[in-house]
Amino acid sequence: MSTAAKTAELREIRGPSAFGGTWQRTWDLLWLLSVTEFRVQYTNTALGYAWSVLKPFGFFGVIYLVVNQVLRFGDLVENFPMMLILGLVLFQYFSESTNAALKSVSAKETMLRKTQFPRIVIPLSVNLSAAISLVFNLLGVFLLFIVAGLEPRLTWLLLPLIVVPLILLTTTLSMLLSVAFVRSEDFGQAWTLTLRALFYATPILYTLVIIPESIQPLIAANPLTPLIEYARVLVINPDAATPVDLVGVGAGLLVPLAISIAIAVGGIWMFNRDAPRVAEAL
Amino acid sequence: MPRPVAIEVRDVAKRFHVPGHRVPATLRARLKNPTGRTPGRYLEVFEGLSFDVEQGEFFGIVGRNGSGKSTLLKLLASVYAADRGTIRVAGRLAPLLELGVGFNPKLTAKDNVVLNGVMMGLTPAEARRRFDEVIEFAGLQDYVDLQIKNYSSGMKVRLGFAVMTHVDADVLLIDEVLAVGDAEFQDRCGDVFEQMHRDGKTILLVTHSMPVVTQHCERALLLHDGAIDTIGAPDLVAERYYNVNLSAILARPDHTLPEMSSQIVAAIADPDARISDSWIVDASGERTGEISQGSPINLRATIGVERSFEEAGFQFEIVSSDGRVVFASDRAELAPGGTVSAGQRLEVEATVENRLPAGRYTVKCKLFRGAGTPAGPNKLARLEVSGPKRGGSMLLDHEVSVSDASQESVTRR
């Protein structure tokens, strides 16, 4: 009758929250859930994790061959197929991650209703597992680039300067979307449309330099634009015109940065505000 | 001496927003409700709930459907946030509201045990360390590497329950939905809860089963429409629960209640007599809850008569933990051929041969007027038969002899 439990002090329970609990527990859950999510994709396959690199290699390899050999766009813009592929990989992470996170809170309903844990774990784990996929996709794509004859460059090592901000942007936006979807499922339909529009409003099929000057500032305001444009500079063509060269520091860098910060602040604020009530709103 | 408080609930209020429904997509409906929805409303569950649970206590929460039991459990478990008031808990709390939270069908038992353990509050290292114990407890050693989508539903339940029993916490919140499955599994759940209780843990159990309340709980709380109806001794709470349940059935405008039930309600609301106490005594006449296997069961009860009536009878039953009546006594006449009179106090002594296998039972005492009309509320007493565990529902004298028959068969060949 004299165990430690007997003398434990009363501590107030404040209900569920976005960030409550210890960092250790948040991280444990986050890591476990995202690794699980990543692993289950390959559990019943013979090749296992090899798929995680083979899949992007094959997928983007086909695009490379078609664009380069069949459509012969490679003759018009230097290294166009590689620019397209790099843009696609980054955008694919953005769209898959936000799409999965959008429904993540409502998909994990039982967990939310039956256990206590920091609610932030749910959208973050979806993002983390998508980020793990992104790393493997990039590995596959770099393999492809080398096979296709692209010269490896030291600036490749700077790619985290692009990938980390992209993950931050995607994650905070995911937080926003995941609680918005609980409020109204209309956001699910709306986001599908928005993603489609964003795909064309981001320099993936084109580069900023080839579009009419009048709409350059509009496209440059898209937070994804500088990320993809600078990724191309780092990986493929160090001499390419950057958004800053084309539309100036303000429109090319500060505007998308401001929009990104607004999304981040809004996402964290919204999630923090809604997290205590999501279990009952589901 | 009062024990320190493990859970303190003070003035807790909680209401839910019930969203309005979507209006039909017609022009007229849209003009009335431009947002496309009728306004929602609020559903008050608690409007100021306060109670304490002591450390090491086995505490039951009962109530009809919709009385707020689950909401209370979820407030304590940090699944819902209270609108007002404070909840304080001493030590580590583990909510065991559902078996196998986070189970992923495509993962093996091992991965799922870790996942589920961490959901229940363990660290991944703790969960991995306990894996062997958990698997052994579940009896699934041969299926460790199988993806659990290939498990039968019974195996999944066993695995989930095994994880639950290996969770470390000072305070455990248990929902009765855990006790699914057959009688043997329910018995096992009961044993595990008792073991946790013996280990000094505070246990909060939500249940619909009054035998479970009277057999396990030290104290219980009856919730009715979001307020505390009764808090105290389990048999008192169980009695109130039956009462509340029956009045609710009677309150229904179209109630089709068997005659018997309305008589029970009348007997509880306005009893002719009342069993003020009932208890089990040991060989030396001391009050006890535990009898060793084979020793006779001695029952005592005291009855207070509220108003005079004829043909007063007393009967008791022994009920097993799954709610079966395993024994019903003969009816004893309280005043053979005559009348019991108001203010009279009667004492009952009964001895029963004990052929019960080890386990937990409830002794239910009943009062009758005339042939079979209840004369007052039933009274429950707790009875535990201790001894080696064995199957079956009664012990019978028996002999088994074995002889070697091989000699004979060899010669025949």
Residue A102 structural domain: 21-270
Tens-digit pLDDT profile for residues B333-382: 988 888 888 889 999 999 999 999 888 888 889 898 887 788 888 888 88
Contact B156, B98 (CB under 8 A): no
Asked whether residue A4 is domain-assigned, the answer is no
Q: What sign does the dihedral A168-A174-A175-A177 (CA atoms) show?
A: positive
Report whether pLDDT(B245) > 90: no
Decide if A213 touches B, using CB distance below 8 A: no
Q: Rounded mean pLDDT of chain A?
A: 89
Tens-digit pLDDT profile for residues A168-186: 999 999 999 999 999 888 8
Q: What sign does the dihedral B355-B356-B358-B361 (CA atoms) show?
A: negative
* Separation between Cα atoms, residue B314 and residue B301, nearest integer Å: 10
Tens-digit pLDDT profile for residues A234-277: 999 888 889 999 999 999 999 999 999 999 999 999 999 998 88
Question: Do the chains contact at B89 and A10, CB–CB below 8 Å?
Answer: yes
Nearest residue to A159 via CA among A230, A61, A57: A230
Secondary structure of B49-114 in the HEC alphabet? EEEEEECCCEEEEEECCCCCHHHHHHHHCCCCCCCEEEEEEECCEEEECCCCCCCCCCCEHHHHHH
Asked whether residue A275 is domain-assigned, the answer is no
Contact B77, A111 (CB under 8 A): no
Please give the pLDDT value at position A4: 44
Q: How close B106 gets to chain A, by Cα (Å)?
A: 6
Please give the pLDDT value at position A6: 47
Decide if A28 touches B, using CB distance below 8 A: yes
Decide if B247 touches A, using CB distance below 8 A: no
Which tokens sit at A48? Answer: 């296992």
* Separation between Cα atoms, residue A120 and residue A19, nearest integer Å: 6
Fold (CATH) for B269-386: Coagulation Factor XIII; Chain A, domain 1 (2.70.50)
Asked whether residue A263 is domain-assigned, the answer is yes
Tens-digit pLDDT profile for residues A46-68: 887 888 888 888 888 898 888 88
Tens-digit pLDDT profile for residues B195-213: 889 999 999 999 888 878 8
- Which of chain A's residues have a Cβ under 8 Å away from the Cβ of B163? none
Please give the pLDDT value at position A170: 97
Domain count, chain A: 1
ipTM value, please give it: 0.80
Contact B367, B275 (CB under 8 A): yes
Asked whether residue A16 is domain-assigned, the answer is no
Interface test with A, best of B79, B93, B173 (most A CBs within 10 A): B79
Pairs across A and B, CB distance < 8 A = 114
Mean pLDDT of B100-120: 87
Report whether pLDDT(A70) > 90: no
Decide if A272 touches B, using CB distance below 8 A: no
Please give the pLDDT value at position A1: 40
Of the given ranges (B26-30, B85-89, B122-126, B254-258), which has the lowest mean pLDDT?
Answer: B254-258
- Sorted by where each begins, the domain ranges of chain B are 269-386
pTM > 0.95: no
Question: Which chain B residue has its CA at the smallest distance from A6's CA?
Answer: B55
Of the given ranges (A76-80, B23-27, B337-341), which has the lowest mean pLDDT?
Answer: B23-27
